Structure 1
Amino acid sequence: MPMPVETLHAYLIQAFPDAEIAIDDLAGDGDHYRARIVSTAFAGLPRVKQHQLVYAALKGHMGGALHALALETSAPPTTG
């Protein structure tokens, strides 16, 4: 069963409440998404660790209800 975009967004905003999140349904099937997430939680972390945090936020749904997720993660730019 596919994961609705609203459910995916809810998981992500719960884990990264300060995040700017943009989600695109790549195939129109609710199974293949691209998510762009900008959050302070990613500051100073390598990309692999950032992606691991996102997968953890999905609470085991990756590979099940969610078949494919292309990730673009980053920390917000620092000012000062």
Structure 2
Amino acid sequence: MSVVWTIAATMLLVAAILTMVAILRGPSTLDRLVSLDVLIALCMCGLGVWAAYSLDSTVVPAIVALSLLSFVGSVAIARFRVRDDQT
């Protein structure tokens, strides 16, 4: 069963690295913000994998807090976004 946890952690790590590349290379601000949302979702998935691996449910409030913060941030970005080409 340890192989499953190792594979899950490796896949999350590779996805986080690729997301960081997308944040750094994003052609627009909106692309970077969407990539940041993906990175936050990957952090939540990592916490979920850790909770399942360690059989410890004390990280569930952190997952809920991250999800609420990500949702509010996404809504605020969608509401108040200004185009990059405008000055």
* TM-score category (smaller protein): under 0.3
TM-score relative to the length of structure 1: 0.27
Structure that is richer in strand per residue: 1
Structure that is richer in helix per residue: 2
Structure 1 or 2, whichever has the larger Rg, is 2
TM-score relative to the length of structure 2: 0.26
Q: Which has the higher contact order (CA 8 A, sep 6+)?
A: 1
